[in-house]
Structure 1
Amino acid sequence: MSVEVDMKALFEAGVHFGHKTSRWHPKMAPYIHSKRQDGHIIDLAKTVEALDKALPFITKTVASGKKVLFVGTKKQAKDIVKAAAESAGQPFVVNRWIGGMLTNVTTTNAQIKKLRDLERRMDNGDLEKRYNKLEVQRYQEEIDSLNFKYGGIKELSGKPGALIVLDMLVDKNAIAEAENLGIPVVAIADTNADPSKVEYPIPGNDDAIKGLQLLLDYFVAAVNEGKTKKEEK
């Protein structure tokens, strides 16, 4: 059973509120319904249409055994993106997109290996046996720093099957790396974004937490459906 999108819920969550007309991107014109005062109103029929294409793609990706990487580094969205990804058992980046995170696999894998080794040695007491309290504290700080950067992707093996991006401007580097590697991107496209930069643009407000949470709920539901289909194979 595919995920059903509720237009009324999108409306109530404020997904239709775009940015000021002065900040719009011309390529968003097909997705704009009207203007209200100094802001654009997004056509929610187009949002539903976009979700009806993107959600089955997410489901198919997960059903094939691939991971979907959730990306949301803007301050107000970090917590809900992390919670959504963790609930779906998917990798995430919410603190900062490190340049080359996907394209420079050698460096990324080396940092993740270092993180795992330090965590293992901290957990089994090896560091405590070998070093004094101050040195152990420094190792803990290094673990915390590595987790801040790579913690959300340390269980990701190989490149993800897709990215889900909450803000196309804030996380443009993630989109650029995905494009470089041929990884499809599902992204919320507010009226100031260029929707042609991604394969599955979802026209919608990228600031309102209630709206972002609703869209994340749809993405998670699509992931969970994919996991169910994978188990049934």
Structure 2
Amino acid sequence: MQITIEELLKCGVHFGHKTERWNPKMKPFIFSSRNGIYIIDLLKTLEQLKKASEFVKEKVANGGQVIFVGTKKQAKDIIEIEAKNCNSFYINERWLGGLLTNFSTVKKTIDKLKESEAKLKNGEYDKLTKKERSMKEREIEKLSKFFSGIKDMTKLPDLMFVVDTKKHKIAINEANLMGIPIIALVDTNSDPESVTIPIPGNDDAIKSIEIVTRVISDAVNKGLMERKDFLENQKREESLQNEREKKESLDEDVDDNGEKIERIKRKKRID
């Protein structure tokens, strides 16, 4: 997905927070201030977007998995849509403390949810009383709300994309503790040094969140395509190698048989 300065401008990516609400570490990404609001340098945004896209594509092409995180009202629907568009994991409800740092325990809860869903589907809960079944259904609904985006996550993700680092400090801290690289949409009131690749931009406007998240989602899809091509080529190479080895083995058998026949002929002549 090729993005231009004009598109970023149209989506309001350049609007930061009020000048009294800023993080000095964002200074390199600020162009100016206007009417008490910081204006983000969109050239820097574009530069960081390209850097982030390449990083994501390479990580996924090497077999990495991405988790999208954004729980604020303006971001939650976009996060779900774009994560699903690239077959990635997502959290768009409350971040559950320990999701990364205590994943083995979280996974047990996810496994319990999947087991309960299977029992509901195959009619096992039909044997319960109406009240008991209702309780089970409510439990499934509650767990699904928080875990639906990570239900198939069997290991820690290899990369995290976050919208609004201030709101998701716990998620950022956990990822950093576990050595998981972070790409984030970072506004003028946030710390860009808390993430691996900050993308300076408006993290409150829906259009701004949408365009940046879509770029990351597209980068994941490009990485998946590269991964698919690599695996297919690898499979072809292995198949060709097996054919070559089989042919060499047959040739050796022919040579061996030829030698045996020659020895038999010589023996007959001598006799």
| Residue identity (%) | 43
Moved more, 5-14 or 177-186: 5-14
Please say if residues 5 and 52 of structure 1, whose CA atoms lie closer than 8 Å, have aligned partners that are also in contact.
no
Partner residue of 2:19 out of 18, 21, 40: 21
Deviation string 1:106-131 (CA, Å, 9 cap, x unpaired) is 210110010000001001111113x1
Match of 1:176 in 2: 173
CA distance in 2, matches of 1:54, 1:76: 22
Deviation at 1:191, TM superposition (A): 0.2
- Partner letter of residue 166 of structure 1? V
Partner residue of 1:190 out of 178, 187, 192: 187
**More helix as a share of residues:** 2
Please say if residues 57 and 222 of structure 2, whose CA atoms lie closer than 8 Å, have aligned partners that are also in contact.
yes
Deviation string 1:183-233 (CA, Å, 9 cap, x unpaired) is 000001100000000000000000000111111111111011011001100
Partner residue of 1:221 out of 218, 226, 231: 218
Match of 1:76 in 2: 74
Runs of 4+ in 1 over 3 A off after TM superposition: none
Partner residue of 1:211 out of 205, 208, 212: 208
Match of 2:132 in 1: 135
Match of 1:44 in 2: 42
CA distance in 1, matches of 2:162, 2:119: 34
SS at match of 2:20: helix
Match of 1:64 in 2: 62
Moved more, 117-126 or 145-154: 145-154
SS at match of 1:202: strand
Match of 2:141 in 1: 144
SS at match of 2:63: coil
Matched ranges for 1:52-131 at <5 A: 52-129=50-127, 131=128
Please say if residues 67 and 156 of structure 1, whose CA atoms lie closer than 8 Å, have aligned partners that are also in contact.
no
Match of 1:230 in 2: 227
Match of 2:246 in 1: none
Please say if residues 107 and 154 of structure 2, whose CA atoms lie closer than 8 Å, have aligned partners that are also in contact.
no
Moved more, 20-29 or 61-70: 61-70
Higher relative contact order (CA 8 A, sep 6+): 1
Please say if residues 101 and 178 of structure 2, whose CA atoms lie closer than 8 Å, have aligned partners that are also in contact.
yes
Moved more, 174-183 or 61-70: 61-70
Gaps of 5+ in 1: none
CA distance in 1, matches of 2:218, 2:71: 22
CA distance in 1, matches of 2:68, 2:126: 35
Tell me, yes or no, if structure 1 residue 167 matches structure 2 residue 168: no
Q: TM-score, normalised by structure 2?
A: 0.83
Gaps of 5+ in 2: 231-271
Deviation string 1:85-142 (CA, Å, 9 cap, x unpaired) is 111111000110010011112210110010000001001111113x112111110110
